[in-house]
Amino acid sequence: MLCQNCHQKAANVHFTQIINNSKIDIYLCEECANKISHVEFVSPFGFNDLISGLFGYQVKQEAPETLKCKNCGMEYEEFLKTSRVGCAQCYHAFEEKLDPIIKRLHGNAEHRGKVPVRVSSKISTTNEIAKLKQLLNECIKKEEYEEAAKIRDRIKALEVGE
């Protein structure tokens, strides 16, 4: 939709006026809206605005040292303004700052992805074996040999069942 005042630029500000119980909608571009209302309209919202608005979580905008991606040269401050990373390496460069945000949004900072049905049982068995091996090592360290023997037998049964 074009600005109803200049008829040249895209309208991205919407005014609604109610005069004598009749509603008037006016669609303007930012420049015309600034001229008419004497109020400055800033349309782009940054990542910090999004996170603080949705979750009440403030991202610290001060970095003790300038964080910069070695691959694309993007700085952390630029990410805060644009809410977009420059390349895949930015996630590693800004990891210290991004991990808490990503964990809060998604519940985990590590991508797990979906697993096809035909391989899901094999993967779950592999994960269970890994957990049991870790538990086995803990039991051996604690010198709980009877429990360790039970876990060892469970691991063998799972490995044969694969």
Which sequence spans correspond to the domains of the chain?
1-43, 47-106, 117-161
Cβ-Cβ contacts under 8 Å for 108 (sequence gap 6 or more): none
The pLDDT value given to residue 133: 94
Q: Side chain identity at 21, as an amino acid letter?
A: N
Ranges of H-type helices in the chain: 30-37, 47-55, 76-82, 90-93, 95-106, 117-141, 145-161
Tell me the pLDDT tens digit for each residue of 68-96: 899 999 988 888 888 788 898 988 888 88
The pLDDT value given to residue 63: 42
Q: In this model, does residue 57 exceed pLDDT 60?
A: no
CB 79 within 8 A of CB 90: yes
| pTM of the shown model | 0.36
Tell me the pLDDT tens digit for each residue of 143-154: 999 999 999 999
